[in-house]
């Protein structure tokens, strides 16, 4: 964490961090430019990054448990692509809107639309997948893919009719960016995350039971319809808020639960808190790479997570003798669990 | 005791179950036999509380099943279904502990842990305790699932009976474990459990059941004690010609097919 805060286009010494914090809590102005960078840019960014990483990883665990499938991502039920479309809509359309409106909502215009897009897309998925009071997991999966396709093509259309700088904004947003982080965002995302994490951890037993299948979980006394609805609501709330501020960051929600399952097993009582921490650490590291590799410029963080995912997935296939494609001894992704 | 009244169930126009009235007493080991698609599993799911929207009523000790909360029912009723499986790595001990889920809120207490230990020992699973469930063979998985079910209702509830329902419990088990499963089940039934199992092997039914039900096309056709099973019954239900040999000593009757 501290290392991540220290490095960046402007390096900050630990002593400066301390004095900056002292000034901040003492109600004084930052003494110099380094302290200002630290308190107003670097610290909120690293914290927002950690919270986002935690959210994505926890939501990955929830969704993989719900779908009983380890290759599921938080965005599967439409949340991320809905957010992406909402953001793209603002980037392209807002140019024509009256300036008074824009000045009133100001910097929250994009997050607001992204958030609404995420909620709308997920709600549509839920309504379409619901059938006679039951939500079938298979329908959820299929409708989710369909709505993701709609969101993607909508975003694509927006890019198409956009002027160049707008199209660039859309692309950047879809790769995730934490450069706009400030304390207000940290407060909003942090509050939502704290509440949702506590609720998620309370469901760890029911989520474990669900791993056996819906029928077996119900024989163990779990109200499967209720838990499915609640997990969807939790997931949507967390992911849409985080995505609204930082854009789409893929693969954290996929890879973190995945690595942890290999290390500590699938008991959600351990997996949920462990994913929270590991997700935070992974995304902070990824963000540090994003800031440093091309410093003083930045790489979108989504690119770093994708590359990391690529390396992690190929790892079991590689040996000292080089890449071995046939008969991998351990394949990290255990398929199955999606019995119909 | 468990009682069903006028159970009928259909999916679309297809009638799956037609007016089933039967009761099951604690201490009885009832086995349900019948051809594929005769409605055995559906019937079991209905009186287990998994399927709703059927006609008729199910009573546990005189109280309609609809009056129970799911968790309340789960503390005294355990079901071994045909498709219990996992897609994720969990240890055998963790899977068995799931059987105690209806009994604790967040963390298992000492009693839950000691019950799991007892079950692991009873089911001959001590060497498997820390094994990853996904690496087990089919028969070993079935033993773990059975252990989980037994852990769920290992101790007698404060009031009322325990209920144990098994849907083809012997799937992929070897000869030795087939026998020990049924012996253990029979012991449960003697200890005051309402025990119903769906079976395919008539010979095992003749040896272990105290009552046999034959189902066909969604209807209950025969209800008999094992000694009352006759070749014409088998012909009528399964359309298979059979002979029943009754040894003169204490051994159970044996069905051979022609």
Give the model's pLDDT for residue A51.
94
pLDDT at B237 over 90: yes
* C-alpha to C-alpha distance for A190 and A186, rounded to whole angstroms: 6
- Reference A121, options A139, A146, A138; nearest CA is A146
In a domain, A331, yes or no: no
- Of A210-224, A276-290, B105-119, give the lowest mean pLDDT range: A276-290
CB contacts of B50 in chain A (<8 Å) are 215, 218-219
Give the model's pLDDT for residue A69.
84
Q: In what order do the strands lie in the sheet with B2-11?
A: B14-24, B2-11, B55-60, B63-64
- Note which residues in 253-282 of chain A have CB less than 8 A from chain B: 261-262, 265-267
In a domain, A175, yes or no: yes
What pLDDT band is residue A327 in, cutting at 50, 70 and 90?
A: very low
Q: Which residue has the higher pLDDT, B103 or A102?
A: B103
Give the model's pLDDT for residue A326.
38
| Angle at CA of residue A98, ends A93 and A100, nearest 5° | 130
Question: Domain count of chain A?
Answer: 1
Peptide bond into A162 cis (omega under 30): no
- Ramachandran region of residue A97, left (φ > 0), alpha (ψ -120 to 50) or beta? beta
Give the end-to-end CA distance of chain A in Å, rounded to a whole number: 44
What pLDDT band is residue A31 in, cutting at 50, 70 and 90?
A: low
Q: A43-67 vs A268-292: helix axis angle to the nearest 10?
A: 140
Q: Give, as one character, the DSSP assignment of residue A331.
A: -
B29-33 and B211-216 beta bridge pairing: parallel
Q: In what order do the strands lie in the sheet with B211-216?
A: B77-80, B162-167, B193-198, B29-33, B211-216, B219-224
pLDDT at A338 over 50: no
Q: How far is B145 from chain A (nearest CA, A)?
A: 10
Q: By percentage, how much of chain B surpasses pLDDT 70?
A: 100
pLDDT at A50 over 70: yes
What is the extent of the structural domain holding A143? 2-323
Please return the burial class of A296, using the count of CB atoms within 10 Å of its CB with bins 0-12, 13-18 and 19+: exposed
Is residue A248 within 8 Å of A174, Cβ to Cβ? yes
Q: Is the ipTM of this complex over 0.85?
A: yes
What pLDDT band is residue A340 in, cutting at 50, 70 and 90?
A: very low
What pLDDT band is residue A323 in, cutting at 50, 70 and 90?
A: very low
Q: By percentage, how much of chain A surpasses pLDDT 90?
A: 21
pLDDT tens profile A110-162: 888 888 888 999 899 888 888 766 778 888 888 988 998 898 888 888 888 87
Adjacent-strand bridge partners of B10 = B15
Is residue A12 within 8 Å of A37, Cβ to Cβ? yes
By Cβ distance, the residue of B73, B90, B102 closest to A265 is B90
Give the model's pLDDT for residue A296.
62
Nearest CA in chain A to B68: A221
Nearest CA in chain B to A203: B106
What pLDDT band is residue B54 in, cutting at 50, 70 and 90?
A: very high
Specify the CATH number for the domain of residue A62: 1.10.3470.10
Q: What is the mean pLDDT of residues A305-314?
A: 70
- Reference B170, options B135, B203, B208, B198; nearest CA is B198
* C-alpha to C-alpha distance for A327 and B2, rounded to whole angstroms: 52
Give the model's pLDDT for residue A33.
72
A194 touches chain B (CB under 8 A): no
In a domain, A214, yes or no: yes
In a domain, A280, yes or no: yes
Tell if the CB–CB gap between B72 and A338 is shorter than 8 Å.
Answer: no
A332 touches chain B (CB under 8 A): no
- In a 13 Å sphere around the CA of A146, the CA atoms on its Cβ side amount to 11
* Residue A319: strand, helix, or coil: strand
Adjacent-strand bridge partners of B60 = B2, B63
Give the model's pLDDT for residue A152.
86
In a domain, A334, yes or no: no
Q: Is the dihedral of CA B31, B36, B39, B42 positive or negative?
A: positive
- The 3-class secondary structure across A130-149, one letter per residue, is EECCEECHHHHHHHHHHHHH
pLDDT tens profile B105-159: 888 999 999 999 999 999 889 999 999 999 999 999 999 999 999 999 998 887 7
Q: Model pTM? A: 0.84
Nearest CA in chain A to B71: A221
In a domain, A336, yes or no: no
By Cβ distance, the residue of A213, A215, A265 closest to B89 is A265
């Amino acid at each position: 964490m501290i290392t991540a805060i220290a490095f960046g286009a402007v390096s900050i010494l630990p002593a400066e961090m301390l004095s900056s914090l002292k000034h901040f809590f003492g109600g004084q102005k930052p003494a110099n430019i380094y302290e200002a960078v630290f308190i107003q840019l670097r610290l909120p960014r690293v914290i927002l990054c950690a919270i986002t990483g935690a959210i994505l990883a926890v939501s990955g665990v929830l969704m993989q448990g719900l779908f009983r499938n380890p290759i599921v991502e938080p965005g599967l039920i439409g949340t991320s692509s809905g957010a992406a479309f909402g953001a793209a809509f603002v980037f392209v359309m807002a140019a024509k809107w009256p300036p008074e409106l824009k000045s009133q909502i100001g910097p929250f215009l994009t997050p607001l639309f992204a958030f609404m897009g995420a909620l709308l897309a997920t709600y549509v998925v839920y309504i379409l997948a619901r059938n006679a009071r039951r939500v079938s997991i298979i329908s959820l999966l299929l409708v989710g893919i369909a709505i993701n396709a709609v969101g993607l093509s909508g975003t694509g259309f927006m890019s198409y009719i956009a002027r160049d700088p707008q199209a660039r904004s859309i692309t950047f947003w879809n790769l995730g960016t934490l450069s706009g982080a400030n304390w207000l965002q940290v407060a909003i995302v942090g509050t939502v995350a704290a509440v949702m994490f506590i609720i998620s951890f309370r469901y760890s037993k029911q989520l474990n039971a669900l791993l056996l299948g819906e029928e077996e979980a119900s024989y163990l006394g779990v109200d499967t319809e209720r838990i499915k609805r609640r997990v969807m609501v939790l997931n949507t709330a967390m992911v849409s808020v985080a995505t609204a501020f930082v854009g789409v960051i893929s693969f954290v929600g996929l890879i973190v639960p995945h690595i942890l399952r290999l290390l500590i097993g699938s008991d959600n009582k351990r997996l949920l808190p462990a994913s929270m921490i590991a997700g935070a650490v992974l995304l902070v590291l990824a963000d540090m790479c994003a800031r440093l590799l091309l410093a003083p410029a930045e790489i979108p963080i989504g690119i770093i997570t994708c590359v990391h995912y690529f390396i992690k997935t190929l790892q079991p296939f590689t040996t000292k003798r080089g890449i071995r494609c046939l008969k991998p001894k351990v394949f990290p992704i255990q398929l199955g669990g999606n019995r119909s | 005791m468990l009682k069903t009244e006028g159970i009928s169930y259909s999916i679309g126009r297809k009638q799956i179950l037609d007016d089933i009235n039967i009761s099951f007493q604690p201490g009885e080991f009832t086995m349900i036999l019948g051809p594929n698609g005769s409605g055995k599993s559906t019937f079991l799911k209905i009186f287990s509380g998994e399927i709703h929207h059927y006609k008729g009523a199910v009573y546990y000790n005189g109280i309609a099943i609809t009056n129970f909360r799911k968790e309340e029912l789960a503390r005294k009723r355990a079901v071994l279904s045909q498709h219990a499986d996992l897609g994720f790595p969990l240890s055998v001990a963790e899977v068995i502990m799931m059987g105690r889920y209806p009994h604790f809120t967040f963390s298992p207490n000492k009693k839950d842990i000691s019950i799991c230990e007892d079950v692991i020992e009873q089911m001959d699973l001590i060497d498997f305790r820390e094994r990853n469930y996904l690496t087990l063979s089919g028969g070993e998985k079935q033993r773990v699932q059975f252990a989980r079910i037994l852990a769920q209702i290992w101790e007698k509830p404060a009031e009322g009976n325990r209920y144990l329902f098994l849907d083809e419990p012997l799937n992929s088990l070897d000869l030795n474990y087939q026998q020990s499963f049924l012996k253990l089940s029979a012991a449960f039934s003697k200890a005051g459990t309402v025990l119903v199992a769906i079976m395919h092997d008539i010979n095992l039914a003749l040896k272990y059941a105290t009552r046999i039900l034959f189902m066909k096309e969604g209807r209950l056709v025969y209800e008999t004690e094992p000694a009352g099973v006759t070749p014409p019954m088998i012909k009528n239900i399964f359309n298979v010609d059979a002979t029943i040999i009754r040894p003169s000593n204490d051994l159970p009757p044996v069905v051979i097919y022609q």
